[in-house]
Amino acid sequence: MPKKYIYLIITYIAMQLSGVLALPFVQQIENPEAFSVGWSVATFALALIISIYFLRDEVSEFFRTEQKQIGTIILWSVLGFILVFITQIVAVVIETFVFGIKPGSQNTMDLMNIARQAPIFIIIISVLGPILEELVFRKAIFGSLHKRMNFFFAALLSGIIFAAVHMDFSHLLTYTAIGMVFAFLYVETKRIIVPIIAHMAINTYAVIGQLSIDPEQIEEQLKQLEQLQLIIIGGY
């Protein structure tokens, strides 16, 4: 793995662990929730700036290329959004009706609760997070693995790591499957910008969908899905 990718991964890990540095300050601040959100946005933005610096040669190469194929990028990004959307639905159905896992990601709910209280947090979910994750998990990790093994195993391993980082192990299948789709987009287009756009789009779609629904309605929908699950499973 090139050194710049190692530095990229270290930067991402440091960003994820940076909250530990903020703990001493949180207890002394009048509004700790706002401080925590501001700290998260600042550290994500700083990590992205540092990551782009490490990849500055590849970024500049893209802008120097005369044939950027913008139309192809847009087409594949739209297709990628659709593929991720369908994959997510299929994975959730399998988790629910095959493995008996309750629908609804706790990780997503926690992020949405923060976004409702501090809308600026949406920039992490819709922009900063997707860009960083694609640079780390697809470009650095998957890209390095794919040089040593076939697509399926490289995408699977990087997808599992991507899923584990989200700390929502009950939905490991969903996150892994989504990660594999992003890897497919990267391989097919040979441009990391495509899975980045698709990732940003699906996250933004989820944010809009979640914020437009009252939290009580979400709970009611989850209960209805659980009842349907019991009916179907009980019918076997």
Candidates 133, 146, 171, 199; catalytic one: 133
199 is annotated as an active-site residue = no
Q: What is the 3-state secondary structure (H, E, C) of the chain?
A: CCHHHHHHHHHHHHHHHCHHHHHHHHCCCCCHHHHHHHHHHHHHHHHHHHHHHHCHHHHHHHHHCCCCCHHHHHHHHHHHHHHHHHHHHHHHHHHHHCCCCCCCCHHHHHHHHHHHHCHHHHHHHHHHHHHHHHHHHHHHHHHHHHCCCCHHHHHHHHHHHHHHHCCCHHHHHHHHHHHHHHHHHHHHHCCCHHHHHHHHHHHHHHHHHHHCCCHHHHHHHHHHHHHHHHHHHHCC
133 is annotated as an active-site residue = yes
How far is the C-alpha of 226 from the C-alpha of 235, rounded, in Å? 14
How far is the C-alpha of 73 from the C-alpha of 196, rounded, in Å? 11
Q: What are the b/e assignments for 111-141, b being 16+ CB within 10 Å? A: bbebbeebeebbebbbbbbbbbbbbbbbbbb
Candidates 95, 134, 146, 166; catalytic one: 166
Which residues carry out catalysis?
133, 166
